[in-house]
Structure 1
């Protein structure tokens, strides 16, 4: 792990069990709403042990990172660019899941000279949140957590490479979301994150500004961000490719190897 001072606040980054070395090629992993760095555990550790520098970040106001949680995709993208500055990294690959994918997209559009690859996992644009779910995330977050878990998973138990045999996806995900929600007693990061996704309106313009290769990793059974909801965005990508895997919205846990291999091949080919 390492802590960086970003915009005056301590920011936690998981480095995959290896010391950070700014001279190595770097990949930044960005989590989605009510998640933290741990959702990238397999992918971040693999890259850290295969010649890459890894920064799997907790977004501000989430778990181990201080500061106010970003209230918009644009604000979160500025945070990612400030994170690169704090780490002394000139260029990096960005991999984002769900909300994190929009953050990565916006960061790549704002500073195209600093982003070598853009991987958007479990993404959609627009990333509309249903009014019922948006309201529940504010008024009854525990019920909203149950709803999200129902919509996000397409299987009960994951492959062994996720967290080991016997892992219960629904229970593990619910526990993580409750822990992230409880980590910030001042701000409801659930509602703030969902609203940021729902309000983001710059996706197609941002993609038009992206200069690097783009990878879309989509779950065939994803109910939160179904593959068809990415078509307009993918059409705007200058150098885009799409990989579909047998998973719901929780791609990194339901199809851990497939997501890893897609990222590995994509980042290595353009390295």
Structure 2
């Protein structure tokens, strides 16, 4: 479905479901250079379980128009405005990678909107290496190669997709290649400049679940654990073996965890 946010045509996937004001809602928040398609399995499942599903593309991503946003705080404010347009309140929220930072900022700034939250591949801060940031700034394909390789465990790089015949590595690469110039850099820069301390997490009262991949090279497991331990009402799911791309590498385990929190 399409709707308008700040004058820009914005896309939101409903998981092929329908919207009913009497149903509970779940909002999915994608990562850097990605879009709603990250959440295909989960969004379809919850739509069929009679949830209102909102997997929203940020400006300049996927099917949404507009320029990419410059900071995590700006993304959280934009997301609140999008939810107001959609008349969504008291929702569950699921954030992946950059999206997990948006969720953390959202939970700190707009706690009344949330009833629960799941963070997949998170870290505070979320530093980006100079080689990756510089390559993205130059719109070099090297940025996609680095991010895609570091996002997948060695097992996933060899194969092992639970959907037979589909390469996780090539899927990730094609998704990143679909973004317009400067979008990936803007996202990575926003993550790199999100220098909030763990005190932000300590302020969050929302019931939270954190997924940690034991072989995550993009958001180190020890950093994700620190985030989880800082949030007062938080549970942890450890996935093994799993890299950063947990929605691809461990789809069933992630979905099982989301069912418990959403």
TM-score range, shorter chain: over 0.9
Structure 2 counterpart SS, 1:127: coil
Query: How far is the alpha carbon of 1:29 from its aligned partner?
Result: 0.4
Runs of 5+ consecutive residues of structure 2 not aligned to the other structure: none
Match of 1:157 among 148, 159, 175: 159
| Cα distance in 2 for residues equivalent to 1:158 and 1:71 | 36
Corresponding residue number in structure 2 for 1:257: 252
Corresponding residue number in structure 2 for 1:75: 74
Note if contact 2:212-2:225 (Cα within 8 Å) is conserved in structure 1: no
Corresponding residue number in structure 1 for 2:9: 10
TM-score where L is the length of structure 1: 0.91
Corresponding residue number in structure 1 for 2:212: 218
Note if contact 1:105-1:207 (Cα within 8 Å) is conserved in structure 2: yes
| Cα distance in 2 for residues equivalent to 1:141 and 1:39 | 23
Equivalences for residues 38-117 of structure 1 within 5 A: 38-117=37-116
Structure 2 counterpart SS, 1:218: strand
Structure 2 counterpart SS, 1:54: strand
RMSD: 1.3
Query: How far is the alpha carbon of 1:205 from its aligned partner?
Result: 3.3
| Cα distance in 1 for residues equivalent to 2:82 and 2:160 | 32
Corresponding residue number in structure 1 for 2:166: 167
Note if contact 1:158-1:253 (Cα within 8 Å) is conserved in structure 2: no
Per the alignment, do residues 209 and 51 of structure 1 end up closer, same or farther by CA in structure 2, a change over 3 Å counting? same
Runs of 5+ consecutive residues of structure 1 not aligned to the other structure: none
TM-score where L is the length of structure 2: 0.94
Greater CA drift, 49-58 or 195-204: 195-204
Structure 2 counterpart SS, 1:21: coil
| Cα distance in 2 for residues equivalent to 1:198 and 1:126 | 7
Corresponding residue number in structure 2 for 1:192: 186
Match of 1:244 among 234, 238, 241: 238
**Deviations for 1:224-250, whole angstroms, at most 9, x for unmatched residues?**
112101233222211011101121111
| Cα distance in 1 for residues equivalent to 2:127 and 2:139 | 19
